[in-house]
Every structure is written in structure tokens, then in C-alpha cells.
Homo-oligomer: A and B are copies of this chain.
Amino acid sequence: MGFELTILGSSSATPIFNRHPTSQLLNIRDRYFLIDCGEGTLLQLLRYRIKYHRISHIFISHLHGDHYLGLVGLLSTYHLQGRTNELHLYGQQELMDIVEIQLRVSNTTLRYNLIFHPVRHYTPEIILEDNEVQVRSIVLNHRVPCTGFLFVEKNRPRKLLIQNVQKHKIPVTYYSKLKSGADYVDEIGNSIKNSELTETPPKATSYAYCSDTLYDPLMKEVVNEVDLLYHEATFLHDLVERATQTYHTTAYQAAQVAKDGKVKRLIIGHFSARYKDLDPLLAEAQSVFKETELALEGRKFKVG
């Protein structure tokens, strides 16, 4: 498993039957990151048979209900089901107030360690960094404090030069060592340098999540050359005034960000309930940036 995004919901705030509010599951080498958690996210995780107990980090972009109202249910369920692994939660400071009051009234003392990381909305920061991944916040411009998130994979494994590896009859069980940079040493002590057997891995895979926001031409610099960009596209461009008033983006504008940012692929979502048929949104975006897809529930996007 490399780098894969699963859409759990992509509706905007006004409800429409069979479309769920925003949530996404990002799997980076079997580490599970949940991005936003609208109402019903837990049932969506069950629907798509995602091993939700593996989620270790949850990122909430902002405190409009369609982006977080499923959180307390998920946290409570982990508790009821006996979770013991720690869970990291990222969001605006007030998010933790909302969580705490609801745990308190239900007399719940979580059985696992919930570690809250407040995210500042007015400046981009590295909010998570370890050997495998770096996550940076993205400053967005919405009616309430709102951030996106940029996920960059780190330390990708070296790539096997499979012909050379096979020529030297190296056992398959040795491949993971080679990928991590080790030389090959056979049973009688002969060695082959790693550089003969592998090559430098491709550029680190990256995913930018731009939640609710007014269109910002400078966003191209933040999302520059990412492999995958999710950008909200609440409206068609004929409603650009409504989009501006409500601090949202049109499909045309989202595609402009993708094009100007020279990203590889674009996913659009956060569709207004007025659009029963989403194809016009896709067509409008593709007229500017061809490599666009819709954030349909259950759809998976493999990256890198």
C-alpha cells in the first residue's frame, strides 16, 4: 500500500439524500489519516469496509458542522470498543472545547490517549513531521478560521533495478533491505553495492487538501506541483457572485488553481445540493484543467 485517498463524503452543508458531508481517508503506507469528519463519517467508514481503528491522526479543517459533526461519535465509538492506541487530533482550539463538553456530559473518560494539536489559521506551519510524512497547514480564506492540509511523503524506499537484482539471483526476502539502502551480502560474504541494485526513488508523493475557501490566485504557490490536489468547487461559475459572498470557489476557479499550480491531478468536491447532476461541474473544471475528477463517495485515488 502506497499513497491512496478514499472519498467518504463530499457534499456541502445543505443536506441531500445519499450524499454525505466532507470526509476523506488518506492512507500513506498503511498509516491512516482522516481528513474532516462530517456527520455520518463512521457509517461511511463501515460502508467502505475501512479498518477505522487504524486511524491515528484526524485533521479538521474548520468548525462548520459539515466538516466535524461526526467526530464525537467516532471518538466515543473508539472508547466503547476499547481502543487503547493514542489518537492525534488537529484543529482549531475551540474544537477541543466542543469535544470536552460532550465527553463530560456523557461521563466519558476516554480509555485511550487523545492528543490535541491546536492549528493556527493565520499562518502556515508544519503540524506533523516524522520519518515518513510531513503535514503542513494551508491558510484558507473562509467565513470562519479554516485551514487546508498538505501531506508530503518522506523517505520513499529506493527503487529496485530489477534486472540487476535478478541477474545476481538475490532472494526476494532481501528486497526490503535493498529498498532501504543496504548492500547485498550473500552467504559466503560476497557483497554487491546497493547503488548497483537500486536507484534513487521518485520524488516524494504529495497531496494538498483545500477545504472551504474563497478562490485565491496565490494558492498556486502553495500547491505547486503536488501529485494530487483536492479543491472545493461548491458552485458552477455562473454563480461566482454567490461563491464569493459565501467564501466558496467555483469549479472553473478550482481548475484554475490546479492549472496555475501545475499539479498532476485535481479532485473537486463540496458540491452544493442544488446540483443533482455533477457532470456540469466536472465539464467546467475540465475545460480549464483536463486531469480533473469528481470526489464521489467511495472513489479511491492512488497516487505516486
Binding site for B on A (CB under 8 A): 13-18, 20, 39-40, 42-43, 46-47, 63-66, 69-70, 72-73, 76-77, 80-81, 92, 94-95, 97-98, 101-102, 105-107, 143-144
Contact = CB atoms under 8 A, between A and B. Distances in A.
Contact of A98 (B66, B92, B95, B101): B101
Contact of A76 (B17, B65, B105): B65
4 closest residue pairs by CB, A with B? A17-B46, A63-B105, A94-B105, A40-B40
Contacts of A64: 106
A137 to B, nearest CB: 18
Nearest to A12: B80
B46 A106 contact: no
A16 B144 CA distance: 34
B40 A15 contact: no
A215 to B, nearest CB: 21
Contact of A65 (B16, B46, B106): B106
Contacts of A69: 39, 69, 72-73
A98 B70 CA distance: 14
Contacts of A65: 72-73, 76, 102, 106
A106 to B, nearest CB: 5
A156 B144 CA distance: 50
A16 B49 CA distance: 11
A249 B17 CA distance: 33
Nearest to A20: B43
A20 B78 CA distance: 17
B14 A80 contact: yes
A98 B94 contact: no
Given A105-B94, A144-B105, A43 B15 contact: yes
Contacts of A80: 13-14
A178 B145 CA distance: 60
A13 B98 contact: no
A111 to B, nearest CB: 14
B17 A106 contact: no
A235 B18 CA distance: 31
Nearest to A63: B105
A73 B41 CA distance: 13
Nearest to A71: B69
A92 B105 contact: yes
B143 A15 contact: no
A144 B108 CA distance: 10
30 contacts: A13-B76, A13-B77, A13-B80, A14-B80, A15-B42, A15-B43, A15-B73, A16-B46, A17-B46, A18-B43, A20-B43, A39-B39, A39-B40, A39-B70, A39-B73, A63-B105, A65-B73, A65-B76, A65-B106, A66-B73, A69-B69, A69-B72, A92-B105, A94-B101, A94-B105, A98-B98, A98-B101, A98-B105, A106-B144, A107-B144
